[in-house]
Chain A
Amino acid sequence: MSDVQTDFDIAGVKKRFAFINRKAPYGSIYALEILEMVLISAAFEQHAVIAFIDDGVFQIKKGQNAKVLGMKNFAPTYRIIEDEKEDADEDDDIDMEWRIVVEEESMTARGLTADDFIVGVEVLPSAELTDLLDQQDVVLSA
């Protein structure tokens, strides 16, 4: 028997998180629940790369209509991520760098361009995204 530690000392810890969105917005719950993950992380003021690859690029496509599926359209929530990013960029008191990245190959393979997205994104070729992810401390994907 060992005691369980439920509190960890995170004071002053600043890490680089990556959230890799790989799945289409509907068809499974991964996109919605990883989005909830990203939003919570803002409260901890950690650096983050929010990356969209494979069918994940459809998560931020303009003009989604989930009503016909009987589901909630959560696409507008991605604008909160953009707002968090912009707030952090503009406010010197917030030590948090967020990047919203789309993998170029995934985007072009699906006939999309950077104009098709509801948020402003950086489009990076796979090799550059790989290098970027290599620099992160915590990589979470779904």
Chain B
Amino acid sequence: MKFGLLVNEGPFTHQASDSAYQFAKAAIEKGHQVPRVFFYFDGVNNANKLSEPQSDDRNLVKLWGELATAHGIDLVVCVAAALRRGIKDEILAEGFRISGLGQLVELGMAMDRTLTFGD
């Protein structure tokens, strides 16, 4: 099955991004596909490469990038939501790209299931 994910919260303050990441990982391990993850609201902060958690904690920004590179996941950050929050190409972490909200509607149209991870 093809799953499309929507992540509505940033890393750390809420568990939403962790849950989405764990879901994506588990789904892929079970043989499903996660072709695209869309980051909206504070979720755009998941793409900030300046994020630097303490060394004994998970680094979600990096984890998303690694998962995307390994499994060909399209990590899309909403441009309007990103600009408001200062997420620009200069600080965009590896594996992410900035694009429009239309990519979320496209995700909903193209995937078998769309899952929202939010507060």
Q: Hey, which bits of chain A sit against chain B, CB under 8 A?
A: 1-6, 8-10, 13, 15, 17, 29-30, 33, 36-37, 40-41, 43-44, 46, 137-142
Chain A residue with minimal CB distance to B81?
A33
Listed by A's residue number, 14 A-B pairs whose Cβ atoms lie within 8 Å are A2-B69, A3-B72, A4-B68, A5-B35, A8-B106, A9-B110, A10-B106, A29-B41, A33-B81, A36-B80, A44-B105, A44-B106, A137-B108, A140-B108
CB pair A5–B72 under 8 Å, yes or no, is yes
Contact B105 A41 (CB under 8 A): yes
We find that the number of chain B residues with CB closer than 8 angstroms to chain A is 29
Given contacts A6-B74, A30-B41, A142-B8, contact A36 B114 (CB under 8 A): no
When each residue 81-109 of chain B gets 1 if its CB lies under 8 Å from chain A and 0 otherwise, what string results?
10000000000000001001110111111
CB distance B72 to A40 under 8 Å? no
Evaluate contact between B110 and A138: CB separation under 8 angstroms. no
Flag if B40 contacts A13 (CB, 8 Å).
no
How far in angstroms is the closest Cβ of chain B from A18? 10
